[in-house]
Amino acid sequence: MQIFPRELNYLPLALAIVAGGLGAGVFILFWVYFTPPNLQVGYTPKQPVEYSHRLHAGELGLDCRYCHSQVERSHEAMVPPTQTCMGCHAVVRTESEKLAPVRESWETDESIAWIRVHQLPDHAFFNHSAHLRAGVGCASCHGRVDQMEVVGVVEPIAMQWCLECHRNPEPHIRPKSEVTNMKWEADEAWVEQRAMIADVLNPPEHCSGCHR
């Protein structure tokens, strides 16, 4: 007498199909969603001091290089030291409660624990000074910082995104005098000129260009 129905012979096959479907679903989930555009873009950490780029870079018109003073000479943009902040705030808003951590840092000579916003993996090398010398504007990577109350990531800091620019740098090239000008827009004369400049740049697409 047959105890189990014959249809149960298909159970292992059905389980294999279901497991394969679930595995494929998990793979697609990671492939689509767990990528830099989804994991990095939008990251906006709360800083120990409520520093408004919209106020300083936008309304007051401070040049990026006033605070990030080494960006034209270093591979890093450099977080400004407390001395830079106190260059203004020793006389401006000296009693502001929001600036208490800045005054404490100045008095104790202890650095403010700023949180890095744009983070590159250790195996990748990026040189800010080289990009500024090539005429790549700050806004191409960091967005309109002059409109941000709190700075966040607006572009995926990923290899594919970098390669897209290296393969077609023309849209990102501007006069070197305008690299920190967030409001700058290309006119017809520059559009005609920048194609020749981009051809001369020839940014690297080989592995050693960024992995050293």
Coil, helix or strand at residue 129: helix
Which ranges of 45-186 does DSSP label H, i.e. alpha helix?
Answer: 53, 64-67, 82-89, 100-108, 128-134, 138-142, 159-167
State CA 152 to chain mean position distance: 8
133 phi and psi, to 5 degrees? -65, -30
Helices 82-89 and 100-108 cross at an angle (nearest 10°) of 120
Q: For 47, which DSSP code?
A: P
pLDDT of 19: 83
pLDDT of 182: 95
pLDDT of 85: 96
pLDDT of 206: 93
pLDDT of 36: 63
Averaged over successive runs of 10 residues, the pLDDT of the chain (212 residues) comes to 67 80 73 65 93 96 94 91 95 95 96 92 92 96 96 92 94 95 94 90 92 88
